Structure formats: C-alpha cells, structure tokens
Amino acid sequence: MNLDELKQRREQNIRLHKEKKKAYYLKKKLATNSGVTEEKHQFIDYEKELFGGDLLSFTAKIKEIAKKQKTYIQDREEIIVAKIEEYRNKKKDYYLENKDKRLQYDKDYRIKKKEDLKNYRKEYYERNKDKILAKQREHRLKLKETDS
C-alpha cells in the first residue's frame, strides 16, 4: 500500500465518521423537537410529607413505610430462599466437578509461594545481615550474663 492509498482511505474514514456524527445529532434534534420529552423527576418535600401536621402523623407515616417494607420482604422471602438454595447447589456441584483441578491449582500455588517466600527470606537476610548478626550477638551475651 502506498502513501496515496493511505491518504485516500484516511479521508474516506473521516468523511464516514462525520456523516455518522451528523446523523446522530440530527436524530437527537428531531427527537427533542418532536415533543418527546423526558420525564422530569418528581421532587418530594420531605418536611411537608413527613412532618405535615404533628408528631402523630410522622409516627403514622413511619409505621406505614415499615409495614410496606415488611410485606415486600415477606412476599419475596420464598423467592430469595429458593435463589440462595439454588446458588448453594450450583456451587457444590461446581466444586465437586472441579475438585481435582482445584487441588492441583492449590498445590502449584503453595509450591510457587514457598519458592517466593524462600527467595524473599534469602534476600532479606542478605540485606540485613549485619543487623541480624548484631542482634544475635547481643542476645547471646545477655544469655551468658544470666547464666553466670
């Protein structure tokens, strides 16, 4: 492919992109002009809704809300319990099917981590060799003093 073909292809792609962009914005413009309006959110004045009157209306409103929530949960309780049971069974079946794979993965993981930990300890000891040896000497001296 030579340079002229690449330039032509690039110009064609840019032109197609601009056409798509223009069509998108025209579509949006027509949708807004045609009278299709999005629903605006209804704002609730909680002061008026909950405290509109006295304390008795507030407690009654709270009790009503709690009752609605309780009935909603009670209606869905069987569905929720069934889904939990289905999930447990699915998980159990999965683990039984892939038991060998999991055990092999765990074994490989432990071996890898064991090697990594061994290397880390070796590097750590090399870096802090002087400090570690000094602490060991101090500890030995303390033990000798206490024995005597």
- pLDDT tens per residue, range 79-130: 999 999 999 999 999 999 999 999 999 999 999 999 999 999 999 999 988 8
Residues 85 and 127 in one domain: no
Asked if 87 and 108 sit in the same domain, the reply is: no
Taking the C-alpha atoms of residue 111 and residue 119, their distance in angstroms, rounded to an integer, is 12
Per the model's pLDDT, the better-predicted residue between 44 and 114 turns out to be 114
Q: Is the pTM of this model over 0.85?
A: no
Range of the domain at 120: 101-148
Tally of structural domains, the chain: 2
Spatial contact of 91 and 83, defined as CB atoms under 8 Å apart: no
Two tokens, residue 27: 């579509």
The pLDDT of residue 139: 92
Asked if the structure places residue 13 within a domain, the reply is no
Mean pLDDT confidence for 57-84: 90
Same domain, 105 and 64: no
Does some domain include residue 83?
yes
**Do residues 125 and 108 both lie within one domain?**
yes
User: Residues near 125 by Cβ (< 8 Å), separated by ≥ 6?
Assistant: 132
Cα distance between residue 133 and residue 109, in whole Å? 33
The answer on 81 and 107 residing in a single domain is no
Report if residue 117 sits inside a domain: yes
User: Taking the CB of residue 67, how many other CB atoms lie within 10 A of it?
Assistant: 10
